[in-house]
Amino acid sequence: MQKKYLMLVCAASLTLGACQSNQSKKELIKPVFTADDMDLSVKPGENFYQYANGGWMKQHPLPDDKSRFGSFDLLAEQSKEKVKTIVEKAAAEKGAEGSLSQKIGDFYGAGMNTEVINQAGYTPIQPLLDKVNNIQTKADITPFISELTRLQLTPLFYFYASADQKNSEMTIAGIYQSGLGMPDRDYYLSDDETSVKLREAYVVYLTKLFTMTGNTEDDAAALAQTVMAFETQLAEASNTRLENRNPHATYNKVDVDGLSQMAPQFPWKAYLKGIDMENAGDINVNQPTFIKEVALMYEVESLDTWKAFLSSVVIRKTASYLSDDFVNANFAFYGEALSGQKAMEPRWKRILESTSSALGEAVGQLFVAEYFPPAAKERMDNLVENLRIAFGQRIDQLEWMSDETKTAAHEKLAAIRVKIGYPNKWRDYTELKIDAASYLDNVLASNRFEFAYEMGKIGKAVDKDEWRMTPQTVNAYYSPVGNEVVFPAAILQPPFFYLDGDDAVNYGAIGVVIGHEMTHGFDDQGRLYGKDGNLQTWWTDEDSERFNSRTQILVDQFNQIEVLPGKYADGELSLGENIADLGGLAISYQAYQNAIKEKGNIADIDGFTDEQRFFLGYSRVWAQNIRDKEILRRTKTDVHSLGINRVNGPLPNLQEFYDAFNLDKAAALFISPEYRATIW
């Protein structure tokens, strides 16, 4: 759960192009919008996404090892190359035992040693499988579930640490539904053709895993069917992704006795003792119905059924770290069947990702030292403050919000904490032991280390300086309980941020990202948290009603978007992100207008006005090619809209977009003013 939970103005002159660089001028990248990058055969009012990105998409065809590839992904690939240089250097240094370079180098080296890994086959997990086989009674199940929890193999539910949503200064334990091998409950329960075929492919995958670990084909097939039936029961009791977006419904705080009363058939005290958390204190149960079903299944399901399921968890959760036959089987389902990938990523990328995950801030320290000079952090802080000012102006301009709620909104906006680039203090990896002998052992050692680290927070004050992303991650997030926005170093590069680019493009790209993350504090979920990060009511009832009526317009708009023939976007699931995209655009555009107020006329570049380049800069961030299977998967499981819809969806709600490209009601994207979504 830790990994699952798992969520910028330049100098005082506001001239982004004047920002720092430790590169020579000739190395700087300028944003360019030309016929080669665009598709000028399409009118901007017909399909702005294609108009802005058609050439880029043609120049960047979808690689076989990707189910989606866009400008966002291209930056992530470039970040990987930088991390690779760091990791390979650490491996070559042969650092002293216990040093960061030794841990990084040995972790990566063990993962790249395919000869040793292939010779081992599945023997690295044999001790865990033996423990399953040695289960004789129901009482034997619980300590094994505890052991898998400590290894972060999450057999049934995540047990994690997080801020108390109604007392955000304190860290409490949480329980969150898990146990499914497919990425969403609907794959088990829906009758559409795609889901039916994926269920069949999943059973084939499970059968192969059981066969490769020593079972006959007939026994393996029977075990796979048993596991499928077991997981289907879990799926039926699981919350939908939409239900999990309701923070009030997922806040159910109990103590250990209360947990035992909620789901009495499961031996909670024995389980908690097995993870050294018998004095866990307060525990938030996100999905009580699911936990009750788990407890009932613990009581009524046969020992053989439990052993089949637990064996499948061990094999499935470790398959990508074992020999090639396991890795290939894992890819055949999760890569090909689910996402439509034609080939696996090169091994070095997969091992690099694993290394960067296990030793995130250790790698991050080296990444920042090499690629993120200190001056950048200060200047990006300034940019965030410009967006904060613009957001405040937008709040003041709202006709639908009362003065009372506006005052509280300003207080929350002012209280947003900003984290740029990298943490003020780094994680200590002293207790994590890594060696060059076994890749899987290193992965599990890292998991145990991470779990113990998280458990050590429970019952203590929240560490406000902690990050939930590494500096080398190309992403950003807003935390509602922390009321903070976080922008890792790796995202502060083209196409998000151009050191030698004009203000319009930078405000359209990284500026909108900043506004997007700030808006998450005021979206359909974030608005339910106060300035201190506590789940509380700070809106008037009338303002809430007006807000909901405006967001419903956005839901309806996206529900009408056909992503594939007969398949439509989910406007409710993606509502928070769509609100943030729309809000980010409006806020950053206002910040840009503030920045150029005293500059007079802005010269055209590449034949485009500055207002046009603002929207082109935004669109380029979401340029991508994507496979149909990945479109279906993301539409079902991702709270973010597809790239094309992050452009063509929000822009027609902005009058500034129409004005920039002289669009009238004849344009295909035109929405009559009375039907536009205007929120922030």
**Total Cβ atoms within 10 A of residue 453:** 16
* 465 residue type, one letter: D
**Total Cβ atoms within 10 A of residue 346:** 10
Both tokens of 679, joined, read 């929120």
Q: Which position among 517, 543, 572, 577 bears the catalytic label?
A: 517
Catalytic, 581? Answer yes
The C-alpha atoms of residue 588 and residue 510 are separated, in whole angstroms, by 9
Omega of the bond leading into 495 within 30 degrees of 0 (cis): yes
Query: Which residues are bridge partners to 69 per DSSP?
Result: 625
- Is beta strand 484-488 parallel, antiparallel or unpaired with respect to 477-479? antiparallel
Catalytic, 385? Answer no
Q: Which position among 345, 581, 611, 630 bears the catalytic label?
A: 581
The C-alpha atoms of residue 175 and residue 178 are separated, in whole angstroms, by 9
Angle at the Cα of 450 (from 444 to 451), degrees rounded to 5? 90
**Total Cβ atoms within 10 A of residue 178:** 20
The C-alpha atoms of residue 618 and residue 638 are separated, in whole angstroms, by 21
Measured CA to CA in angstroms, residue 580 lies from 378, 424, 561, 574 at distances of 25, 27, 18, 10
Query: Which residues are bridge partners to 529 per DSSP?
Result: 535
Both tokens of 668, joined, read 């295909």
* Chain Cα centroid distance, residue 111: 24
Cβ 587 vs Cβ 387: under 8 Å: yes
Measured CA to CA in angstroms, residue 540 lies from 397, 436, 528, 547 at distances of 18, 59, 12, 11
Class of residue 99 by CB neighbours under 10 A (exposed 0-12, middle 13-18, buried 19+): middle
Measured CA to CA in angstroms, residue 168 lies from 36, 288, 533, 645 at distances of 50, 22, 6, 34
Both tokens of 533, joined, read 């990060």
The C-alpha atoms of residue 613 and residue 619 are separated, in whole angstroms, by 10
* CA pseudo-torsion sign 459, 465, 471, 476: positive
The C-alpha atoms of residue 557 and residue 18 are separated, in whole angstroms, by 39
The C-alpha atoms of residue 95 and residue 105 are separated, in whole angstroms, by 8
Catalytic residue positions, numbered: 517, 581
